[in-house]
């Protein structure tokens, strides 16, 4: 019996208790077999559930793209735990994982899910991630990835190609921060929601780790360079020795020159009229552009969200394989394996939960938005709230990674475009 504490309903279904089994125990088809065609799953929204006879009946919880019967109902069904208060939510979840109760139609799509979470990384590279200990928290097996390989992915087809591991730059430096490539990209055809027109890239030649900043104008380049150099030196404990740029005036100016002199950094510039010498930085730009195109196409988010997309793309790039190394740029630069358990599909629906203390009794428990990226270090998530035209940073979210995306209203009418805050 499923007893839903939320919906105050009991549902009796014939099931077997078989801990450890990896197949389906309760499927929608089985429910339909018991109750006829009036079984309607509601996978999207804050409270996914199954409706039986028009009434919400079984609460579902989504974990790694699978739906599970909610804790309370599971407990009452399991019987052996008695009251659901005996176990913590975490413990129950662990048990649920083992038993895989109430798996629904999306169970075979883990490989696709991680392909999307990884910004449409090519399946061979993704299989490399799945089959190695390059990262922690990756939730699909090599088999899942291989099974997904044959599936048609529309955004990938539209973006013309899937991404392969980024090519080696033939790097010559062997020490972190010995040589940092920098480049300016833009102006973009559309201003970002937070008024950026360019992005600047920073690429550590030795580790292939990169950083992107979105800026409003070229005049901000010198202070951005200074900021990122200081950040990287603090993060690694190493010192930047050389930087390499083209001869754009944003890099060749007295302000930057004096900053670099003060920091004791040598500035290499490409020879005049041979921008291809800045190859490493330009390859990075192209890689990021490709990510952004595919991610925006998949998300249905408007082009003004390119600034969120490019920063997310850069994060994903840092935790992806590179040719000729079994370590990610992240690990080579930061010194720790990246934990990718927080990765989510760019642009998916996300509901920011509002803590009890911050809302009144009748206020909604969550605010709807779309997931657009990660806080630094992947410590929290960024969610675009269309009605406020701002991005909220939160650790307490419900995601709907499979729901229809791109259908949200992005008409700015009724909101004040000046109030955009990052």
Number of residues in the chain: 422
- Judged by CB under 5 A, the chain residues 72 through 101 that form the site for Zn ion are none
The C-alpha torsion from 128 through 131 and 134 to 140, rounded to 10°, is 100
Nearer to Zn ion, 139 or 248 (CB): 139
Q: Whole-angstrom Cα distance, residue 275 to residue 271?
A: 8
Q: Whole-angstrom Cα distance, residue 394 to residue 130?
A: 28
> In the bound complex, what is the minimum distance in angstroms from residue 301's beta carbon to Zn ion?
16
Nearer to Zn ion, 214 or 309 (CB): 309
Beta pairing class for 242-245 and 179-185? parallel
Nearer to Zn ion, 156 or 185 (CB): 156
Nearer to Zn ion, 162 or 192 (CB): 162
Task: Tell the residue number behind the tokens 């109750």, with chain if given.
Answer: 35
Nearer to Zn ion, 120 or 166 (CB): 120
Full strand arrangement of the beta sheet holding 39-42: 39-42, 49-52, 55-63, 66-69
> In the bound complex, what is the minimum distance in angstroms from residue 373's beta carbon to Zn ion?
18
> In the bound complex, what is the minimum distance in angstroms from residue 145's beta carbon to Zn ion?
12
- Judged by CB under 5 A, the chain residues 141 through 160 that form the site for Zn ion are 153, 156
Nearer to Zn ion, 103 or 156 (CB): 156
Other Cβ atoms less than 10 A from the Cβ of 230: the count is 12
Q: Whole-angstrom Cα distance, residue 59 to residue 77?
A: 13
Q: Does 120 bind Zn ion (CB under 5 A)?
A: yes
> In the bound complex, what is the minimum distance in angstroms from residue 378's beta carbon to Zn ion?
21
> In the bound complex, what is the minimum distance in angstroms from residue 347's beta carbon to Zn ion?
13
Nearer to Zn ion, 114 or 199 (CB): 114
> In the bound complex, what is the minimum distance in angstroms from residue 159's beta carbon to Zn ion?
8
- Judged by CB under 5 A, the chain residues 153 through 192 that form the site for Zn ion are 153, 156
Q: Which stretch binds Zn ion (CB under 5 A): 70-78, 112-120, 367-375, 396-404?
A: 112-120
Return the closest-CA partner of residue 246 out of 183, 204, 185, 178.
183
Nearer to Zn ion, 146 or 354 (CB): 146
> In the bound complex, what is the minimum distance in angstroms from residue 115's beta carbon to Zn ion?
5
> In the bound complex, what is the minimum distance in angstroms from residue 298's beta carbon to Zn ion?
7
Backbone torsions φ then ψ of 265, nearest 5 degrees: -110, 135
> In the bound complex, what is the minimum distance in angstroms from residue 49's beta carbon to Zn ion?
30
Q: Which stretch binds Zn ion (CB under 5 A): 97-105, 117-125, 182-190, 375-383?
A: 117-125
Q: Is the peptide bond before 187 cis (omega within 30 degrees of 0)?
A: yes
The DSSP bridge partners found for residue 39 are: 52
DSSP 229-249: HHHHHHHHS----EEEE-S-T
Cβ contacts of 86 within 8 Å, gap of 6 or more: none
Angle at 287 between CA 128 and CA 143, to 5 degrees: 20
> In the bound complex, what is the minimum distance in angstroms from residue 113's beta carbon to Zn ion?
11
Nearer to Zn ion, 96 or 310 (CB): 310
> In the bound complex, what is the minimum distance in angstroms from residue 112's beta carbon to Zn ion?
8
Q: How many residues bind Zn ion (CB under 5 A)?
A: 3
Return the closest-CA partner of residue 79 out of 7, 1, 27, 9.
1
- Judged by CB under 5 A, the chain residues 285 through 314 that form the site for Zn ion are none
Nearer to Zn ion, 120 or 317 (CB): 120
Nearer to Zn ion, 118 or 351 (CB): 118
Q: Is the dihedral of CA 219, 222, 225, 230 positive or negative?
A: negative
Q: Which stretch binds Zn ion (CB under 5 A): 120-128, 317-325, 383-391, 394-402?
A: 120-128
Q: Which stretch binds Zn ion (CB under 5 A): 79-87, 99-107, 116-124, 348-356?
A: 116-124
Cβ contacts of 411 within 8 Å, gap of 6 or more: none
Q: Whole-angstrom Cα distance, residue 295 to residue 337?
A: 25
Build a one-symbol-per-residue string for 7-46: x at contacts with Zn ion by CB under 5 A, - elsewhere. ----------------------------------------
DSSP secondary structure letter of residue 61: E
346 touches 299 (CB < 8 A): yes
- Chain positions contacting Zn ion, by CB under 5 A: 120, 153, 156
């Amino acid at each position: 019996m499923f007893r839903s504490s939320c919906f105050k309903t009991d549902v009796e279904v014939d099931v077997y208790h078989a801990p450890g089994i990896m197949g389906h125990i309760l499927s929608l088809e089985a429910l339909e077999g018991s109750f006829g065609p009036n079984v309607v799953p509601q996978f999207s929204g804050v409270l996914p559930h199954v409706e039986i006879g028009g009434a919400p009946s079984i609460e579902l919880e989504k974990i790694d793209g699978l739906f599970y019967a909610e804790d309370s109902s599971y407990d009452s069904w399991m019987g052996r735990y008695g009251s659901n208060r005996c176990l913590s939510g975490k413990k129950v979840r662990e048990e649920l994982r083992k038993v895989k109760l109430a798996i629904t139609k999306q169970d075979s799509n883990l490989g696709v899910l991680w392909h999307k979470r990884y910004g449409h990384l090519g399946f061979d590279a993704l299989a490399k991630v799945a089959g190695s200990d390059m990262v922690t928290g990756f939730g699909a097996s090599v088999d899942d990835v291989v099974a997904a390989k044959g599936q048609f992915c529309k955004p990938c087809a539209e973006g013309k190609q899937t991404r392969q591991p980024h090519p080696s730059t033939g790097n010559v430096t062997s020490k972190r921060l010995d040589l940092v490539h920098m480049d300016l990209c833009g102006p973009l055809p559309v201003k970002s929601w937070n008024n950026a027109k360019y992005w600047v890239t920073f690429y550590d030649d030795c580790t292939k780790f990169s950083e992107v900043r979105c800026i409003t104008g070229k005049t901000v380049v010198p202070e951005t360079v200074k900021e990122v150099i200081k950040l990287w030196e603090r993060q690694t404990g190493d010192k930047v020795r050389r930087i390499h740029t083209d001869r754009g005036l944003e890099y060749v100016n007295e302000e930057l020159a004096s900053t670099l002199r003060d920091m004791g950094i040598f500035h290499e510039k490409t020879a005049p009229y041979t921008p291809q010498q800045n190859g490493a930085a330009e390859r990075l730009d192209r890689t990021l552009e490709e990510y952004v195109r595919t991610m925006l196409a998949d998300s249905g988010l408007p082009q003004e969200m390119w600034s969120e997309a490019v920063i997310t793309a850069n994060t994903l790039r840092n935790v992806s394989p590179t040719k000729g190394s079994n370590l990610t740029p992240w690990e080579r630069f930061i010194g720790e394996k990246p934990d990718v358990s927080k990765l989510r599909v760019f642009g998916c629906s996300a509901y920011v939960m509002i803590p009890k203390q911050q809302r009144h009794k009748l206020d909604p428990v969550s605010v709807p938005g779309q997931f657009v990226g990660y806080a630094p270090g992947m410590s929290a998530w960024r969610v675009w709230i269309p009605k406020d035209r701002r991005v909220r940073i939160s650790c307490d979210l419900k995601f709907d990674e499979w729901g229809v995306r791109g259908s949200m209203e992005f008409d700015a009418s009724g909101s004040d475009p000046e109030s955009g805050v990052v």
